[in-house]
DNA sequence: AAAAATAGATTACAGGTGTAGTCTTGAATT
DNA sequence: AATTCAAGACTACACCTGTAATCTATTTTT
């Protein structure tokens, strides 16, 4: 699995919003929440390319970036990894931890029920 | 939140198995899965102390370590953090990702149902 | 055409991390 | 008593990360 740092992921996440995109578009998207200098974001883009998380095509002097993987695939792998490390690969203890500390809303519960429902339908 | 590296967490995790414990006991516990040098583990113990994740009492020339927090509390915070970063704080999309990629077993589903059940009982 | 802006490439640099090795000191062994 | 062992302290060192600044080669702008 490609290992991305937090900052790298956030840049990639901005690209996932809509791609392909140029560096300036990505910088623009990040300008709201992050106080990152333009140079910082460009460094992160280079590192993402180096790690194989992005590719680009040249358009004159600019690069047009595209992610090499889908967000859902990446987050799934990260999730598996996380759950393996902290909960020996079982997902219920994670959810249970949330439940016990009052972190679950009725909406979360409804959504979880739906996930279970869909899963069961799929088994038939 | 105290930030622990992967290796640091694994050492702390070995302590959580049973504590208080000495360095040699922890090294013993880790000797199965990890190929860590004894010195490596001791370095990690020092770093954990420095970060405030452990304390110790002296027993002659040895230290007897105790975690400063409970595993469940630590993993809950890590989980919140993780879910915030990757799923905007919502837990269902994580579970849903697992479901879609056939990562859920019937046992997982049963456990999740129980968590939901317990949550609902608790609401009444 | 000269100057200024801009794209990416390269360099920087401190703090974290994995992974030990060496140093110091007191305890155990011969 | 002298030597060896072992505990923790301190040092090491390369790679990763966050966070840019500088360099180089165009494009724009004046």
Residues B7 and B63 in one domain: yes
Domain annotation covers residue A98: yes
Residues B37 and B84 in one domain: yes
In this predicted structure, what is the pLDDT of residue A37?
97
Residue with tokens 């149902």: B113
Q: Which nucleotides of D are covered by protein (CB under 7 A)?
A: 7-12, 16-22, 26-28
Q: Is B35 exposed, middle or buried (0-12, 13-18, 19+ CB in 10 A)?
A: exposed
Q: Which nucleotides of C are covered by protein (CB under 7 A)?
A: 6-12, 16-22, 26-27
The pLDDT of A18-25, averaged and rounded, is 98
Q: Is A77 in the B-facing interface, judged by CB distances under 8 Å?
A: no
pLDDT at A5 over 90: yes
Closest partner residue to B112 (CB to CB) among A6, A97, A116 is A116
Q: What percent of chain A has pLDDT over 70?
A: 100
Residues B85 and B95 in one domain: no
Domain annotation covers residue A76: no
| Spatial separation of the C-alpha atoms in residues B62 and B43, rounded to whole Å | 15
Residues A10 and A63 in one domain: yes
Residue spans of chain B under pLDDT 50: none
Closest by CA to B77, choosing from A39, A89, A82, is A82
- B75: tokens are 């993993």
Q: For B31, list phi and psi in degrees, rounded to 5.
A: -65, -20
CATH number for the domain spanning B44: value is 1.10.10.10
The answer to whether A90 contacts B111, with C-beta atoms less than 8 Å apart, is yes
Domain annotation covers residue A83: no
Q: What percent of chain A has pLDDT over 90?
A: 97
In this predicted structure, what is the pLDDT of residue B44?
98
Q: For A33, list phi and psi in degrees, rounded to 5.
A: -80, -35
Number of domains in chain B: 2
Report if CB A46 to strand C is under 7 Å: yes
Contacts of B9 in chain A (CB under 8 A): 85
Q: Where in the sequence is the domain holding B32, given as residue range(s)?
A: 1-89
**pLDDT per position as a tens digit, A26-68:** 999 999 889 999 999 999 999 999 999 999 999 999 999 999 9
| Spatial separation of the C-alpha atoms in residues A67 and A53, rounded to whole Å | 6
State the nearest Cα–Cα gap between B57 and chain A, in angstroms: 27
Tell me the average pLDDT of chain A. 97
């Amino acid at each position: 699995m490609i290992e991305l740092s937090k900052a790298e992921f956030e840049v990639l996440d901005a690209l996932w919003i809509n791609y392909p995109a140029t560096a300036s578009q990505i910088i623009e998207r990040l300008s709201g929440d992050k106080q990152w200098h333009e140079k910082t974001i460009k460094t992160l883009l280079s590192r993402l390319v180096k790690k194989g998380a992005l590719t680009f095509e040249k358009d004159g002097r600019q690069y047009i970036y595209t992610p090499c993987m889908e967000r859902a695939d990446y987050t799934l792998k990260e999730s598996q990894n996380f759950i393996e490390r902290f909960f020996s690969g079982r997902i219920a203890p994670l959810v249970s931890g949330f439940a016990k500390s009052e972190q679950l809303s009725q909406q979360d519960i409804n959504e979880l029920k739906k996930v279970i429902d869909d899963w069961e339908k799929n088994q038939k």
